[in-house]
């Protein structure tokens, strides 16, 4: 893969950090990036269809946003229609037919939040508590989608997955 379309909602600041990280790494991997906005269905369809006209491409879904969630099924359908392997930012995309998700573990984050609540209830000031980034991530793979895309995933990758949907 030499080309990657990064699907993101440019109006959501939380996705900017992920996109910036991808921009930083892409040149060292010899990957050309194409940002695709997700403000509406027409922008998504046009962006993915134009991107898919050239070979050796894939998709990365970056960050949260209501537009991303609203158009989840459209994005998954277009990735399948254009035979573009895609990495998503949440398990819910894989459950609906996406290929791979690499995402923070929401259950782990809720457990850690409970610890913060406990500390606050015991008198600590919320402003004194450090901001924490996720520490546990999940790899979820949909083998049915891989097969439909004609991809043969290495057994070592499948073995590393936290969840495999067949």
Residue 9 lies in a domain: yes
DSSP 134-157: ---EEEEEEHHHHHHTT----HHH
Give the rounded percent of residues in the chain with a pLDDT score beyond 70. Answer: 95
Examine the pLDDT at 3 and tell me if it is beyond 90: yes
pLDDT tens across 46-97, in order? 999 999 999 999 999 876 666 777 888 999 999 999 999 999 988 889 999 9
- Residue 73 in any domain: the answer is yes
Q: For 47-153, list the strands marked E by DSSP.
A: 57-61, 86-88, 100-104, 137-142
Whichever domain contains 74, its CATH number is: 3.40.50.2300
Q: How many domains does the chain have?
A: 1
For residue 40, what are the CA distances in angstroms to 66, 68, 69, 75, 100?
Answer: 11, 9, 11, 11, 23
Domain annotation covers residue 81: yes
Residue 157 in any domain: the answer is yes
Closest C-alpha among 105, 74, 76 to residue 91:
105
Range of the domain at 53: 3-104+137-165
pTM: 0.81
């Amino acid at each position: 893969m030499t080309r990657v379309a990064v699907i993101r909602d440019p109006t959501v600041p939380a996705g900017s950090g992920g996109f910036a990280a991808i921009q930083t790494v892409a040149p060292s991997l010899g990957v050309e990036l194409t940002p695709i906005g997700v403000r509406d269905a027409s922008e998504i369809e046009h962006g993915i269809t134009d991107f898919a006209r050239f070979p050796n491409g894939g998709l990365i879904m970056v960050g949260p946003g209501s537009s991303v969630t609203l158009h989840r099924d459209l994005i998954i359908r277009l990735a399948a229609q254009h035979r573009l392997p895609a990495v998503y930012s949440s398990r819910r995309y894989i459950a609906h037919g996406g290929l791979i998700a690499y995402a923070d573990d929401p259950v782990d984050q809720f457990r850690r939040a409970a610890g913060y609540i406990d500390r606050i209830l015991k008198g600590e000031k919320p402003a004194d508590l450090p901001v924490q980034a996720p520490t546990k991530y999940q790899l979820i793979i949909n083998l049915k989608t891989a097969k439909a895309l004609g991809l043969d995933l290495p057994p070592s990758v499948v073995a590393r997955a936290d969840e495999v949907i067949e």
